[in-house]
Each structure stands twice: as C-alpha cells, then as structure tokens.
Structure 1
Amino acid sequence: LLAEVFAGKDRNSLTRLALDLQGDLTSPTEGIFSFSHEFEVDPHSQYWWKVRVYTEGGKSAESEIWTFVLMNTYPRRPELIPPGRNLGNVPLKDLTLNWSSNDPDGDELVYDVYFGREPRLDEKDLLIRGTHETMVDVSLLKRLDYSTKYYWKVVAKDSYGGESTSYTESFTTQMRADLPAVTPENPRSGASDFDAGRRSLSWKTSLPLEYYPEPLYFDVYLAEGQSRHSLIGTTNSTDIVIPSLKGHTTYSWYVVVRDASGKEKKSEEWIFRTSNRAPVIDMKYPFAPPGQSSIPVTWSVVDPDGDSVTTEVFFGAEDEEPVRIASGRMTSVFLSALDEGTSYSLVIKASDNHGGEASKEMQMVPGNRAPSVAVVNPVSREGVEPSAVSFRWVGEDQDGDSISYELHLKSLDDSRVIGPIDSQERVVRDLGENEEYSWYVVATDSRGAFVRSEEAVFRTGDKSLAVVLPVSPRPGEEEVPRSHTRFIWEIDGEREGLSYRFVLANDIEMNNTVIERVLDGPDIELTQDILSNTRYFWRVDLIKDGSEIAGEIWSFETENLPPEVPRLIFPMDGASEVSTRDLTLRWEGNDPDGVIVSTKIYLRGTEFVEKEYSASESSLTIGELEPGRRYEWAVEFIDDGGKSSKSRYSSFVTGNQKPVIKLLQPSRMFLEGATTPLVVEWELDDPEGEDLEVGVYVDLAEESLGRPVAIGNNLERYVITNLISGRDYLLTIVAE
C-alpha cells in the first residue's frame, strides 16, 4: 500500500509533500498499514492536510481534510551571568547585570529585570520593564550601598504571551574603602637621573581607581630645591603633565588625594634630581657658488638647561683627519682656499660646564647645492589612526645627486629618528593614542649637502579594532613591475568577517580610479598591465557588517623602461671618403615612457683612444678629423629615471682630398711680353687643413718638367728674375 501527502496553510490550495510513501504493515490479520512524514512548519500557524492511499493495482482512497494549529513555545529560561568573580565583594562602579536567553520559535524577546534587597522579588523591585537588551547598568538606574546583599532575576517574554523566569541570584557589594595610599612611580623617590625633558609625573594607588564609585581627585605639589611647594595641577588619573624642569636640579613633590565629599589624604614627600641635558647644535648647509673659494659657515647652539657652552670647530679634506681651527663661544667661522669639487669634513663640538657634550659633522663640497624637501602628509590632521601612520614628503636635487632621508618624529612621551630612507614615504607603527605629534624630514644628497623641511603637526585618535598594513608594494617603492602587479596587505587586529575594497588610482586624491575591486582575501594580482614610469596610489578599505572604514593611501612607482637603442643615421656604417672637416653625426630615437635628458656620443680612432661628447639635439658636428683614418662611433641615451641604452659602434673612413691652388698674380693664365722681375702669387687650400709642400717650376715650353726653382712649406709667392727674351716659358706650381 502506497500514499501521497498534501498540506498547506490554505485549505483550498494544498501542496503535495510526498509521493509513493511505503506503508508499514502493523496488523497482518486486519491488513492495517501505518504511514508518517515530517515537514517544516512556521510557528504559531494553522495547517490543513490530507492523504491519498493507493495500490499498485490502481485502487485508491482519499481522506477528508484535517487541520491543526501549532502552539507557542515558551522562551528558554534566562541564564544569569554573575556581575563579578568575587560575589562577596562586587565593585559599585559601572556595575552591570548580564544574562542570555532565546526563543525556540525565533520570536523576539523582551525582558523585565527585578532587583532588590529581599530574596522574594515582586513588582516593587522592578528595575526595568520591556528592554530588548541583555544587559543593564544598575549604577545608572539605582544608587547602591556598600556591603549590601542584592537579589535579582529576569523574566523573558515573547509576543504570543509566553514567558519564563530565571532563578533568583544574589551578590554582595564592596566594602567602603578609605582613600588609597599613593606611592611614586616615575620618578621613583631618590632618583638622580630623571630626564628633565619628560613632561609628566606618575604615581600608583593602593587600590585601583575602578574600586571607587565616585571619582577621586589628585592635587600635585612640586618644589625646586628648598623653595615652597606649589600646586601644579589636579587630575582624575594617576599621571599629570608638568611645566618644564631644569637640568641637574633637585625637586621634591607630593600628592593629595581627595573625594567628592572633601575627605583627603596627603602622601609622603619624594625627592628626585634631573639629569644634565647636552647642548643642541643646529646648522644649515653652506652653499659655495662655482668659482668661489671661501664661504662663511654659521650655526646655533642651545643648551636646554641654560648652561654656558663652549664650542670647538674641526675642519679638513675628506681624506685627512680634521684639525681644530677654532674654539670658544663662537657660532660662525670663515672657510677659505676651498677647491671646487673637493669633499671637506666640518665638525662642530659643543660642551656645557656640567659634562654635557654634543657633536655634529657635515660633509661639504664647494659648488654642490643642497636638495629641497617638503612634507606632504599628515599635516594639520585630527584623529589620525595611530596603529600605522603613513608619512609622505617630496624631495629633489638640482644637481641630480641621489638623496637619502631621515624622518624625525616627536610627541610628549615619544621621540624617534627613522632613517636612512631611500624613498619618499614611510609607514610608522604603534604611535600613542590621542597625542599631538610634530615631525620633519632631513634630506641629504650623496655628496653631503643637506636641508631640513618645515615642521608639521598632527594629532592621533583612538586605535581601530583592525588596521590594514601594506606588505607589497612597500610605500614609496620604485621599479614595481607593470605586468602581473601583485598587491598584498595584512591586518593588525580582528580579521574575522572582513572583506576588502581595493582601490588603485593615479592621483593622490583617488579621483582617477584605475581599478576597484571588493575582495575576500588580503591580496590581488592585476590581470592588466599598468603604465610604466608612473606614480600610482592605492588603499584598502575594510568592510564588515555593511559598514566601511577608509584606509590609508600609499604610493609606488612602476618600473622605468629604458630608452630605445639609438639608430645611427649618418655616416652609414662602413662609409668611406668621409669629410674630415665639420662632419655632422646624426642619429634618432626616443624614450617610450619618459624624457631623454642626456645624450652621449663616443668617438674613437684606430688607436682606440675614445673621446666623449654631449649633445642636446639629434646631431653633433665634429670640427676636424684626420684624413684617411678609420673611426668608430656610438650614441648613448639616458632618460629622466637614470636608465640608459647604447647603440653598437658604427665605423667610417675619412678621405684625403686634393689641395686647391688659386692663382692671384698675374691675373691671367697666359701672359705675353713678360719682363723681370715677375711676381707670382697664389692661394693654397687643403680640405683637411694639412700643411702643404709647394714646388715652383719654370721651364721652356718645349722642354719637360725639370728641377724646381723653389721649394717650401705653404709657399704662396715666388719672384722670377731670369728670363731670356723672345722665348716661351711654362710656370708650374705643385702642392702636396
């Protein structure tokens, strides 16, 4: 016997839930079969259902339509969570009650909370009614007493009238405590090396401040030496910011703790002595213009403690030990007899009369200009996330020298010098929360010239639960591959449930978006190529529970492709009879992703002595070459990123052209009736500019060329003094 089952919330529109159900024969003698089928239902609902049974032979029977209504299931009994580990001494401050419960039907629950001094709690003890939360801050709703036993319970209710009540639990509040005893933390009593630059004092209390339901107040008194103590401030915490202290000075201090009622307790007096602080030297790089062999150098020396300072100045060439050239209380010297291009070392040493010493060394090259640097971010910002702060700046060197950087960062309790840094960006981790920081950058070129940026200020905020930290590319990284570029980051904090919005743009404002993707994992590899020799900006936003937190912006620069290999145009490889005067070499080529900033031409003769020329155009004219010589030449391009490409060497052979003789006097080639003395003058010109050996021949017309009547180098004049009257003569001038 088989069956099919129909059910639904609408009596007139039932849905078949099962077909060909096999029945179990429960009574063979009577032929009784039993069937069962389970299906999901909605709580608090009415259903209608029917069945049809049938045999394989085609017989069937159908039931009438039946109905049933699902009853409401009561909420589960609330489970109370104790308000503290020690139920016999629960602190009054921020006392909260917590519980957990749920409803089997998934109904929304509300809670009534009862709280009182008697075990049998009733309506007079109702603390809060109909709350949807599973916690309540009792200290905000009710004034609590010390050393008192309290009882509490929670009633959970659903919207269908179902409710359940927790067991009644109890706890006893803390005993009333006296004002705490105070002991010094920093500086400790008797300390002799307290940093005078530290702008705070701190102390400990015998009981934690959380133990007191009402705030406590701490009045701090400080005195220098034997002077009278004065109040320097009042605070609710266990530390306080203080005015500037003097170095190598004895101080005493104490703390008075009091409560809101006016009760107070004074601590012991503690003594400490500050350490001596060394002088601070500040100097700017002195620039000596080309051709100037002397230069003034100035600096400033400040002693934080106001001590008298003596200065020594040492100077010498880089490969020599610097010698002392001045000492005293000066703040400037005049350096002379400097050689342009030579590296010198200048050392300033400053010492105070309490043993504090400072030294500053500088490398200087006359004619070398200092680089420039300016801070970019963060500047005048509030609420900077302190876990990983991205610092950016821009710098350049007019002489094309490489630059390294130092990042100087300071707050009230934090001071860092980070470097050397070879990029213009650095991520700094673990700054203090809600602190004001100042920072600047020092840029130094490869020859020692340096400059300091303007100082910028920003303020941190609270630390986020999760922070994105870049792994690759590193902030400020250069030469990043443009194909299959991969971005990787990591999370400092809670990772569960996070997804990421990756954004890549070519502007710092992130307006010109190149790629934007939402990802489940902390990395992405681009399938498209990005532009070469281009600065890009990227960030990763955190997405959780439908909300987004914008991340920091980092930059990188893609790889710079080298220029094309120069194509040599003229003279062609293997050319002969090339002119030796004013020969113009020509070539062509360009850079695919930048600008060609320098072109070098290499020319060498048969002795392979190579000369180097520079050109700003695509041609170069060589004034003179030797005749009949084989030359080789090549061209090298250098782009704005320092990449270069060089052509192969091409060869040519210069020619040796005949000299030219131009007759000046007599003015005619045929002369009749010539008389002596006869002056003959001519002009010589050799295409290669070489010296000419000149021979002068005067022969009878019917005779062959005889012996020269004159020979000389570069000879351009001859006077004929002996001619026979009535005879024909032939004048010949030969130049070699």
Structure 2
Amino acid sequence: MKRFFILFVVVLSLIVLTSCPGMLNKPPEKPSSPIPVDGAENQPKDLTLSWSCSDPNGDSLSYDIYFGINTLGIVKSNHTENNYTLNGLNGNTTYKWKIVAKDAKGGSTEGDIWTFTTINSTPSVPFNPLPSDNATDVSIDSSLSWSCTDPDGDDLYYDIYFGESNPPPLKSVGISTNNYNPGMLEYSSTYYWKIIAKDGKTQKEGLVWNFTTENAPPAVPYSPDPNDDATNVSVNVTLSWECSDQEGDTITYDIYLGLAGETLLKVESDYPNKSYSPGILLRDKEYNWKIVAKDSEGGIAEGPIWSFTTETTPPETPYDPVPSDDATSQIINPVLSWECSDPDGNTLVYDIYFGTNSNPGLVENDHTTKSYSPGTLEYNTTYYWKIVADDKRGGVAEGPIWSFATMNLLPATPTNPAPSDKQTEISLTPVLSWECSDMDGDSLTYDIYFGTDENPPLVKESHNGRSYLPGALEYSTVYYWKIVAKDEHGGTREGPVWSFLTINRAPSAPINPTPSDGATNIALPYDFTWECSDPDNDTLSYDIYIGQSEPLPLVADNLATNTYKVTGLQSNTTYYWKVVAKDEHSAAATSDIWEFKTKNSPPLVPYNPQPSDGATNVSRTPSFSWECVDPDGDDVTYDIYFGITENPVLIRSEYDLTYYPITSTLANGTYYYWKIVARDTNGLTSESPVWDFRTENTPPSTPSNPTPSNGVTGLYIDITFSWSSSDVEGDLIYYDLYMGTDISSLSPVATNFTGNSKTITGLEYETLYYWRVDATDDKGDKTRGPVWNFSTQNKPPDISFAKYLGGSNYDYAYSIQQTNDGGYIVAGYTESNNGDVSGNHGYKDYWIVKLNNKGELQWQKCLGGSGLDEARSIQQTSDGDYIVAGYTSSNNGDVSGNHGSYDYWVVKLDETGNIQWQKCLGGSGYDYAQSIQQTSDGGYIVAGYTKSNNGDVSGSHGENDYWIVKLNETGNIQWQKCLGGSNDDVAYSIQQTSDGGYIVAGYTKSYDGDVSGHHSYEDYWIVKLDGLLNIQWQKCLGGSSKDLAYSIQQTNDGGYIVVGYTGSNNVDVSGNHGVYDYWIVKLDETGNIQWQKCLGGSRADLAQSIQQTDDGGYIVAGYTNSYDGDVSGHHSYDDYWIVKLDETGNIQWQKRLGGSGGDYAQSIQQTNDGGYIVAGWTGSNNGDVSGNHGGYDYWVVKLDY
C-alpha cells in the first residue's frame, strides 16, 4: 500500500509538471567572461569576440550580438556559437558590445555592455623627399617636402632635422604641414635632413636624406669701359670689363656686339681675357654689347646690355629766329623759335641763353625742341637771346645773339584798401577806397566787386575815382570786396579780395542757474547749467568761477556749451559761482554771483586689509585689521562680514575699532572671505571689496617607492606606474604624471587623478624614459616628486609564420630543430588520425613532422604501437638523418623489445622519416626519456628518469632516478648510470660539454645518495659528468618551495645556463613575482651561481627551453598565465611567453603569443637568419592562432625582425 501511494505521488507530480511547462523553464545565465576583457586596450583590428554562458535547464542557446562605437546596433541574430569574428576595425577606436542570450523556450538574458579599444597604428615612414635623396644642383632657395600617411587617419605632425652635419640637428618641432622652408642655403654645399612623423601617440623616424646645392655662378660682369651710354667714343675703341668668381673658378667669356636696334651677335666664345678690340667701328652709331661669364663648373652669369655712341659731325649754326632779330612791340609772353639741322641726322638738343643783357645768360640746357617760352616778360623792354645746338655726340654749334622789344605795361595791382583787410568794428555806412597807378601814365577805371560771399559779385563797372559808397550794412557781418584796374589800352590788373567786419553787440548776462541760487544738499559730481543769448546770434563761450569767497577763482574757461560738471569740492560747504559769457568778437557779459551748499560725504572705502587680499599660508588664528577715514571728520563704526563663501556673513556690527581678532581656530588650507562696511554718524556708508586669504596647509609627502623602480631596464611598452605619497592632514591627494625622453622637458601624460597608480600604454621600444609624479592636496598645495627613469625593452620580432599542425584530437609538440636545408624537424605525440595526421597505430604515437623553411608540411610520420608512445626530443644527426627519444608502453607496430611498463624509446630515422633502427631501453618499471643528443663520437647520450632496477637499468637509489644512457652509433648501450637519492630525481635535459663530459639538469627531492645541499621540496639538480658518466660535481639550487629545471646548455665562456621555474623567493632565489616564475640561473664552469633572474608576473610562469644566442645573450621559451610584472600582451589563460635576455640576464624584449585557449611553448632555437623558431601546442583558435584542427594542435611559430 505504501509503495502504491509513493508511485501515485510521483505520477501526479509528473502530470502537473508536464501540464505547466512554463514552470520548468529558467532563462539563460547572464553572459560573462568577455574576451577581450571589458576595458581592454591595444586590441588588433581583426579579432574574435567570445564569452561564456550556460542555461540552467541545459537548453541550447543562441545569441543576439550588439556592436558599435557610440550606439549599439545588432550585427548578428540567433548566433549559435559563443564567439564572433570581427575584421577591419578602425585603429585607436573604442568599441562597445553586448550579448543577449536566448534559449529555445523563449527565455532570454541581456549581458552587460563591454568595451575594448583597438591598437593605434604607427604612421608610415616619411617618403618621397623633395629634393630627392642624393639630388645635386639644387637651388639655394629650395623648400623641403615629403609624403607620409597614417593608417588610422590621425593628424600628423613633424619634427624637422636639417643641417650640414650627419646626423642633422633638430630645426623645428611639431609642424602640421609636409613642407618646410630652411631659408637661403649656401652654394656648393651638401645638406642632410630627416623627418620624424608623429600622430600624438606614436612616431616613425624617416631616413636621413641629402642633397647638394648648385654651384655659385660668377659675378655679373660690371665696370664696362666705355661706360654705359658713353658718347663720342673712338671708332677704334677697346672694350673692357670686370668680373670675379667667389669660388675661384676659371672664367671665360662670350662677347656679344651689334648696332642698336639689331640682334646682338656673338663675336667671341670662351674668350679668356677681360678686354676685347672689335676693330674699326662705324662713325656716329650707337652700339650695344654684353658679356656672358662662364666658370669651369658650369656656372653662368649674364651681364646687362651696355651701349655707347661713336664720335660724330657737329650740327649747323641755328638760324631763322622768331621773333626776328630786332623785332619790336612783341607780346610779353612770346614763344621763341629757330631752325637747325644735323648733317649726320642726329637728334639735337639746345642750350638757350636769354635776358635783358646784351650778353644773355643760360636759362635752359638740353632743350629738345626748336621753340621755347621764356614766360611773361616786362612791358616795353628789350630782350637778347641765342641758341647753342648739341648733337650729344660731341658736336656743338653756337648761333648769333638776337634781340626783340616788348609791348606796353599793365596797370599796377590795387593796394592800400580802406577799411584795411580784415579790419573790425567798421561803421554800417563805410566809404571804400584804394590806391592804384599805371607806369605808362595811362588813365584808369575800376570794376568794383562787393558782398558777403568770399567771391563777391560785380556791383559797379568802369568806376572813375578810387573811392566807393556801398550803402547801409548789417551789424556784425563780414563783407568781401575787390578792385579790377583797367588802362586805356585794354590792359587789366585784378586786386586781391579784402574783407572787414561791421560793429558787434555784446551777449546778454547769463541767467537761470542750476543749481538755483541758494540751493543746498548738492551732491557731487553735479552738472551746472545756465541760460544765455547773443543779439547778433554770435557763437558764445563761457568762463566759470567757483569758490568759497571773493574774488572767485577761475575753474574753467572757453567752454563751448552752457553746462559744466563740478567735482572735487568739500562736502557740507557753502560755495559761490558766476559765469562770464563771451562772443566770438571778444564782447563779454558777467552773470550775478550765485550761492549753493554741498552735501555731506560718506566714509572712504575701507582699505589696507590684514591679512592682505589674496594672502596665503595665513595663521589659523588670525586677527583682522584695516584702515578707513571720513572726509568730513565724522566718527565711524564698522560692520564685519566673514565666511568661507564669496558672500561672507555678518559676524559683528557697529564695531568701533579697526582691529578685530578671530577667536576660533580656522580650517587648514581653506579660503576665507571677509569685508568691512564703514558707517558715519549721519548714517552714510561705504563698503569694502570682498577680500580673501588662505590658511596655512601642509602639502603631501614627496612621492616615493616608485614602480617601476628607478633605473630598471627591459620593461614592456605598456606599464602600470605606482608610488607612495601621503598627507598628514588627511587631505585628498591628486596626482599629475609627467613623462618624456628628455629629463629637462617632461610632459604631462595624466593629470588631476586620484589613486597612486596609472597605466600608460604604447611607449616606444628601446627608449630611456624619465618620469615624475607631482602630488597636490585638495587645498591646492603641491609637492613635486623626484625624477625617476627606466628603459623599455628592445622591439620584439614579428611573427613570420605560424603553423597549426594536427587533427581533431590532441597533438603535443615538445622539440624542434632547424635542419640543414633551412627547414625544421618537430617531434611530440598525437592522438589524432585525420587532418595533417595519418598512420596512427592507436592511442598515442610519436608524431614526427618535417617542414620547409616557410613552415609548410613536407612529410609526417606516426611512430609507435597500440599503446602510449610520446616523443620528447629530436635532433638532426651528422649524416642528415634524425634521432628521436621519448618513451613507449607499446610492444607492437614499430616498437619491439619493451621491458615492461614504459621504456625509453630511441628511434633513428632517415632523411625522409623512415625507421633505420629503434631501441627500447629500461626495466620492468617506468622509464621516461626526455632528452637526446648526438655525441662527438657519432653515438648518442640520452637523459630521463627511471623507476626500474633491472633489465638495462642498474644502480637505482629508490623511487625515480636520473637515468643517463650512452649509446653507440647503432643504438647499443655503451654504459648507463642511475643518479639520485632515496626520493624522486627527474632529469629533463642533457648536453655533451666541450671537455667530452656531460651536463644534466632536472630536479631532485632527495637529500641523500648522490644528492647534497638540498633546500626543500624540489630543487634544481645540476650534475656534471665525465665521459664515463662519473659525477665530477653536483649542485642543488633553489629555495624553500618548488624549483624545477627543464633545460640546460653550456655557454661560450665554459659555464652553463639553466632554465625552469621556481615558487621560492629565498636562499638561491630572489625577485619572485608571484606563484611561479621563470628562473634563469647562470653557473660558472664548476656550478657556482654567477647570477640568477626571476621573470614573470603574479601568476604561474613556467619556462621550458633556453638557448644562448649569437650575441651572447639568451632566448627563453615557456608559457605564462600572468598579465603583470614582466609579462604583457596577455591574450587569455596560458600563452607562449618568449623572452630575450642580454648576457647578464636583463630583459631585452618579451613577446606573448596565443589566443583565448591554452598555448604552451616547449622548445625554442635561434635560426640561421637570426630569427627564432618555437614549438609547442595550442588550444586556441583566435588571437595569434587560426586554423586549429580541434583539441590541441602542434603550434610552430617563426619570429623574424
């Protein structure tokens, strides 16, 4: 019955649930874990977005993807994968995106809006220089120009380097155009120049270009003989000139000569002298000539065209004069004329002699016509004249002296007017009179002009006598008049225009004053006014007199208006004033004396505050003081306003002192405001301005404890800066971060931010930077920090190729080496049997891959049996074949001779990967080979570890031992050695040394047996063996945590370089950044530590391979999960981490490779071209990785500069 009831309940529940399906569905979880992470910077322009999302009911999900810059728009609906690839994004741009997850039952969940910023692209190298590189014969006034582009379309600015030295000096900074005028250059000089293009974040330096300026030509020929325009030149002339070359070049001359108006002919070429005889020339001809100077370097200077005229025949004697000789009654403004000609047809000019003397003087020379006007002459006078003709070629002819007499004289100009010119106060019925005479005694009449116009009209014609009555005139009026005298022969003489002013009437006395007579309480300034008029409507001016008693002093004169602004009088005082009115004719009228009384004055504005306005560092218990006076001598009291705003509040009223103490303690570093209102006994007030002061404040402490530490080198170009600073008063601190490459001119890169750290990205590689932090508290007090410095790492190489090899399962590469043909051999293992993989025997096989120099697959081989077969090490042998070592659990297929469990499996392959021989080495336990190398005798040395003590293995100490096996050239054991103690001892790397012995590296957990000096947990264990595998020395290296060595190599100096990872930070280890660090140790030839370096960040950093490079430094490969410290460029999860060190272990550059999955580098080697080849495996399919076949793939990366 009970079972039936339970079954009933279950069935009923199922019915209810299936009938209400909505009750079962839950919406998807909120999308999370975005890649790129939210706020990521320096992202590639082609990238894949990915996210995590799940559904509580296990429903299948689809996604709506929103993407944009300012606003989000949907770019993909119902997307079924949790990643989405974007291509061709803009550089240096911040993008927004979000994901809306939807299940199949209608449930949906909207994710957050995430952002990332794409990488900024460097400008192109400046190109296309003008003048072109190595140009010659460049003009000395040339301008420079170039071309440059920016992939992101950023505005570009340029630094110009220019000069005659190489490298050229800096000439101009930050110009915005791609051209530059260096000014006038020197001849025959070589100039060097380069351009640095900057887009505000990065810069690109151009090549140093050069050009050579043109040769300096000779000087322009000068100092011609005969002089330019010379006349009367001998027909047998020798031409000469001057010329020089500033560079001392040899000069020759081309000589051009010809008649004026005709083409100049070259009469000599490359003539060596500076004088030339053209032979006998034509007489009385104008010749043109010029010289072209040429130097030995091709410079040319063309002289001007000079001219000269050869000697000539003189002109005829002038004749046929007009007026004729001895003529009479000639007009007084005659035109003289004559005749003359030249036998040679030359143009003539004339010197004219003229006067009343019978030997007349020269009045004009080089006159060009045969007529001449001597001007207006005297009446009834005899004049004498002669002409001298000149052909200006040396020919002159002088004519005779001729004479003529002029006609009658005009009347004299009227003079002595009455009234006299400009006379005033003339009667209204005047008599006009004047004087005039005629030198010939002719009787005269007069035309009379009279009126109020400056050009008076004719009022009387042919008036007899020298006086005239014009009739009754107007008061105070200017009249104009003139006289024209006429003689009986029709001669006239016009007199000047005279004027006079009739009598004037004075203005009326000023009346109606403002302020009115007896007015009181007049506040100054005040506009005084009055009224006044003039009976003649003359323009008036005024003199103002104001004082406390008579005689009243003059305070203003010649005012043009009837108003005057009065200022500066004493308050509450009786004053007297009057006005004197004056017309333009000096007539005056004086007003009555009027009286007024001024208004009472308020106190003066308070001044001289203490603390002074704007004072700083003021005591927190200050006392206020000020000064104030009342111009009327009234008693003054004060209202005091005080507070922390610009509108202070009243804190004391009717205070009768000018000193006031503040009794409470004020806040530090705070601005306070105060003012004073002064009040006199009459209630009048004056208010001071609002003054301010700032109380004393302690600035922040000097920034210290910098990160990066001062002088550190090898930093990545994206750096998080941090420091320490505090404020004793607890004020909020703001920071300004300054950086630059010139210690004397640091620039702000971040300002006015809180928090004592700041991340700066996109610095230049291989650059020494200086930086400083200034701390400012919220009161405005600043402390300037010291200047620290650091150097960025060398620029890492770029990816030349990246190859993804494998199938749909797991494929792990452990070893790579460059081959003799420039290609590469790779060894590891595979679980795949598709894609690039074929021939798998079952489960895991050795997978040997041969690549060409471009990383393209040439052949591949799967080696093994049905068990587990994992290759760990491969090397090309001296015969061009290959030797591989690893371990196997198989005993079929390619494998034979297995001793049990796992054996070392050593395989010799020919050059195309075919097995030549194979050997299983070991016992019944576990035997794992990790490293193999061909020895100098053609055999092989193998290292790994064993847990066996039978079969091929003897001498085990317990647990795992190093097991070192020496094989001959056909793989037979020559000798073997177990090394270690009673705990685990695991060897990973072996190399034959220059003395014929061997160096081995791995780790130990033993404290006994062959092991001594163990620190704790795992230690690096370095063992030096002789050629027979006897221990020469051994070293335990490490600290109190895990220390595992994976790779060792003998160095050029006979010492050793070891790499692995460490979790320690004591004893032999220092500088650990976090969980595990790469640990690089340099040993001398006897195993003593010369130096050690911990490299990494706050998470796990595991080094796997090291090799000394051609420059004496080292290249290290492994993988990292960190994103700080020495590590930068994090993609996600674990990444390949490649580090280049100098010979003392300092980072020169580092490079992180991978995508959002796991990426694990295992082996690295420097290649023949100076680049690097790296092998490992990847689970990514984005970032640096594309084309993954599934699971993990071999990932082979070639790095090149």
Verify same fold: TM over 0.5: no
Q: Using structure 2 for the length normalisation, give the TM-score.
A: 0.19
Name the TM-score, length of structure 1 as normaliser. 0.29
> Structure with the greater relative contact order (CA < 8 A, sep ≥ 6): 1 or 2?
1
Q: Over alpha carbons, which structure has the higher Rg?
A: 2
